[in-house]
Amino acid sequence: MYTLLNGTVNKNLSQHKLKLYFNLFRNYSSREFLNDVYSRTKLKCKSKKLPQDVNPKGVFACNELDLSEVKVYGFDYDYTLAHYKPSLEHLLYNLGRNMLLEKYKYPAEISKLEYKPHFAVRGLHYDIEKGLLLKLDSFLQIQFGAVYRGLTPVSTEEVLKIYKNRIIPIAYVEGDNRAHKENRAKMVHLADLFSVPEMGLLCNVAEYFIRNHIDYHPEILFLDVKNSVQSCHPIMHKIVAQNVDEYIRPNSDLKKYFQLLRDHDKKLFLVTNSPYHFVNAGMEMLVGSDWRDYFDVVIVNANKPKFFTEVSRPIRVFDKNANTHIWEKVTSLEKGIIYYEGTVKQLQELTGWCGHQVLYFGDHPYSDLADVTLEHGWRTGAIINELTHEIKTLNTQTFKENANWLQMLTQIIEDHQDHKEPEAVEVIAQWMAERDQLRNDTKSVFNKQFGSVFRTYHNPTYFSRRLFRFADIYTSNIRNLLNYSLTHTFYPRRGVMPHEYGSYFV
């Protein structure tokens, strides 16, 4: 049937028998044998059909969601309805850098530091004590090779020296406010797309300090950069409102989607932290001057997440002509009127909209999605712009081949790692080196420094674990919803648990 010692195996031998065969000869660990295992596995990998492309315009479900139950559609504005061109990152970076110079009196040479697009990705952590920008996975493990001081990668040896471990204690990452403990978190999670240029500025300035041997305090630098960039938001709002075409990506499908919702008697509302004049300029460009007609309620300067967590902040009427809010008490919400601040409690009381009949779309897993789903039982949709780039990368043939081979190579390492004979140890070390290279290749195609927003090698990132917890569905753009009917049910994929079959019907 088959010969064992020369390693040739009947090609009809089933996977199951092959495994038995390996197990029977587990002690057999010559170089020839292991090389043969490697070649056969490689051949099998090459013969495997590559997975079909993922639709970059797909809507993906974390939790079952039946749209026929949804009567009310709510939207955030920035990065949910309005997607910005890279020019906005440059603008925020430049404004923040100028503020560092003017208000905080940073060294004049900083004015020469240009923005480096694609340096950082959203979802990273900044260690305010140690001054490191790093990527954590859902187990709070550091992703080695994705730790930066300024623009310089920090070696794995140094990272281990600094943290003494690859897993960071939860109190260090998130703080600890259990009884009798008031430990402040030492890390900040940068989950907002507006924080990408902020990270760019932070790393550029830190790099400048390091190269010029200037002693600096990482927390002070972090706070100065954050305050500089955030205090520039009103200036940014003005500039963008005057040049919407330069900063906002057009999206003619938005109007179609709003019209479809209205035609099916759905209620629509907008809750945004941005000011009216900025939202109005963007919405006029995206939807038209009649954009307010699509919305039953519009709330600006909402101050999320407080809008979703506080109970006693009165909702006010905003006078768009006088550009101010007025003092009168609000007892009902009317279409066409712009509201200001308030709380979700009032919104629910005045409209009667609550629970699973509301679907709210936002791009921020915490300030848009966490509280509404955990506290109010709303359904949630995350708009994650980065999905377009991530899915296009997943769909390349090289990525598919590498990802496939990485899985299979890992499997043969797992199966043969217990051989301790010197020949076997040497071969397995080569496999491990190849695996490390493959892991780096499959990581750096997403972003050279930090890899994918969603993955740290095999684990989900800290960011994506939270996203999957707080979002029922997620997609790259609101317009993708137009490809589904308003009675569509999104079903999550039945994921494979570690103790279950590797695939169905094996």
Active site residues: 76, 78
DSSP secondary structure letters along 175-195: -B-STT--BPPSEEEE-STTH
- Residues 70-109 binding Mg ion (CB under 5 A) are 76, 78-79
User: Contact 295/261 with Cβ under 8 angstroms?
Assistant: no
> Per the structure block, which two tokens stand in for 352?
């009667």
Neighbouring C-beta atoms of residue 430, cutoff 10 Å: 12
Least gap, CB of 385 to Mg ion (angstroms) = 10
The residue whose two tokens read 């002509």 is 321
Give the total of residues touching Mg ion (CB under 5 A): 4
* Alpha-carbon distances, residue 381 vs 80, 96, 436, 475 (angstroms): 10, 31, 35, 8
Query: Is 78 annotated as a binding-site member?
Result: yes
Query: Is 363 annotated as a binding-site member?
Result: yes
Any residues with CB less than 8 A from the CB of 461 and at least 6 apart, and which? 123, 135, 136, 137, 138, 452, 453, 454, 455
Per the DSSP assignment, residues forming a β-bridge with 418 are: none
Query: What's the CA dihedral at 323, 327, 328, 332 to 10 degrees?
Result: 60
Least gap, CB of 362 to Mg ion (angstroms) = 6
Least gap, CB of 479 to Mg ion (angstroms) = 16
Query: What's the CA dihedral at 161, 204, 88, 322 to 10 degrees?
Result: 100
Least gap, CB of 79 to Mg ion (angstroms) = 4
Neighbouring C-beta atoms of residue 279, cutoff 10 Å: 24
**Alpha-carbon Rg of the chain, whole angstroms?**
27
The residue whose two tokens read 């490390």 is 436
Separation CA 147–CA 145 (nearest Å):
6
- Residues 335-364 binding Mg ion (CB under 5 A) are 363
Separation CA 63–CA 468 (nearest Å):
9
**How many Cα atoms within 13 Å fall on the side-chain side of residue 180?**
0
Interaction of residue 386 with Mg ion, rule CB under 5 A = no
307: Cα separation from own chain's centroid? 23
Phi, psi of 216, rounded to the nearest 5 degrees: -140, 160
Residue nearest Mg ion (C-beta atom): 78
* Alpha-carbon distances, residue 44 vs 11, 61, 493 (angstroms): 10, 32, 27
**How many Cα atoms within 13 Å fall on the side-chain side of residue 441?**
16
Separation CA 205–CA 221 (nearest Å):
8
Angle separating helix axes 276-286 and 233-242, nearest 10 degrees: 30
Query: Is 253 annotated as a binding-site member?
Result: no
> Per the structure block, which two tokens stand in for 54?
């993922």
Separation CA 398–CA 81 (nearest Å):
33
Binding site for Mg ion (CB under 5 A): 76, 78-79, 363
Binding residues: 76, 78, 363
